[in-house]
A = this chain, B = another copy of it.
Amino acid sequence: MGGDRAPAMVVRGLDLALVRHPDTRFLIFGVEGQVAPLLANLPKLAQAATLHHTDEVVLDDAKPSQALRTARQSSMRLAIDAVADGRADGIVSAGNTGALMAMAKIALKMLPGIDRPAIASFFPTQRGESVMLDLGANIECDADNLVQFALMGDAFARSVLGLTQPTIGLLNVGSEDLKGHDAVRAAATQLRAENSPIRFFGFIEGNDIAAGTVDVIVTDGFTGNVALKT
């Protein structure tokens, strides 16, 4: 029920996803009176989807803490709960990002060793596609956060891009060891360690994003958000 021109745009997206992944089955959570007429025009999608009605919707300008306390029957929360219960394998939402992160963190918990979720996305590059994270979930990050983003980005690039040994770069203002603030320098030291499970390329700069110098670009959410929108 969230995002620009919802729910029509979301249903259109599901229809496209079904073309690319014909075996996928969908659980749709939303206002039946709005979603059912859209499905009526898409018989293949209607057959692959189950619609769960709810009247409650998380608004785009709702604060995450408020959504967390009050919106327990919202389409967003019910969809997350379906993942928590094992009825769904993942959730897609175009709605309020802050509310989605907060609800997902509470209902799904974090993996062991991961303190905070991150927002990742693909960037087109001169070489193909790279993954970048965090894009705005964590405005201030310490070295441990950045190291954890590197691990998550590595897992994402392996499973979604199908890479066997993705290269990971840490976004900085220069490539020399002494460049940057304490958090990026300390994170680089950890990622360079011999027992590090990932293939750490080292520091990269803004121009390396579009160049495709690495498969995974790791940065704090403030810098990543500005780079994305720039």
**A residues neighboring B (CB under 8 Å):** 136, 139-140, 171, 173, 180-181, 205-207, 209-210, 219, 221-223, 225-230
Q: Which of B173, B181, B210 contacts A136 (CB 8 A)?
A: B173
Question: Which residues does chain B contribute within 8 Å of A139, judged by CB atoms?
Answer: 173, 180-181
- Complexed CA–CA distance, A219 and B230 (Å): 13
Contact A225-B173, Cβ < 8 Å, known A210-B230, A230-B206, A230-B207 = yes
A205 and B222: CB pair below 8 A?
Answer: no
List the number of copies, as a whole number: 2
Given A139-B180, A206-B230, 9 additional A-B pairs, CB 8 A = A139-B173, A140-B181, A173-B226, A181-B222, A205-B229, A206-B227, A206-B228, A206-B229, A226-B226
A-B pairs, top 4 by smallest CB distance, nearest first, are A206-B229, A206-B230, A173-B225, A206-B226
Contact A227-B230, Cβ < 8 Å, known A136-B173, A139-B180, A139-B181 = yes
- Complexed CA–CA distance, A209 and B210 (Å): 18
Question: Which residues does chain B contribute within 8 Å of A226, judged by CB atoms?
Answer: 171, 173, 205-206, 219, 223, 226-227
Question: Which residues does chain B contribute within 8 Å of A173, judged by CB atoms?
Answer: 136, 139, 221-222, 225-226
- Complexed CA–CA distance, A227 and B209 (Å): 11
Instruction: Quote the shortest CB–CB distance from A56 to chain B (angstroms).
Output: 24
Question: Which residues does chain B contribute within 8 Å of A180, judged by CB atoms?
Answer: 139, 222
Question: Which residues does chain B contribute within 8 Å of A219, judged by CB atoms?
Answer: 226
Question: Which residues does chain B contribute within 8 Å of A223, judged by CB atoms?
Answer: 222-223, 226
Instruction: Quote the shortest CB–CB distance from A135 to chain B (angstroms).
Output: 9
- Complexed CA–CA distance, A181 and B183 (Å): 16
- In the complex, residue of chain B having the shortest beta-carbon distance to the beta carbon of A221: B173
- In the complex, residue of chain B having the shortest beta-carbon distance to the beta carbon of A180: B139
**Residue among A206, A222, A225 facing the most chain B CB atoms (10 A cut-off):** A222
Question: Which residues does chain B contribute within 8 Å of A228, judged by CB atoms?
Answer: 206
Question: Which residues does chain B contribute within 8 Å of A206, judged by CB atoms?
Answer: 225-230
23 contacting pairs across A/B (C-beta < 8 A): A139-B173, A139-B180, A139-B181, A140-B181, A171-B226, A173-B222, A173-B225, A173-B226, A205-B225, A205-B226, A205-B229, A206-B226, A206-B227, A206-B229, A207-B229, A207-B230, A209-B230, A219-B226, A223-B226, A226-B226, A226-B227, A227-B227, A227-B230
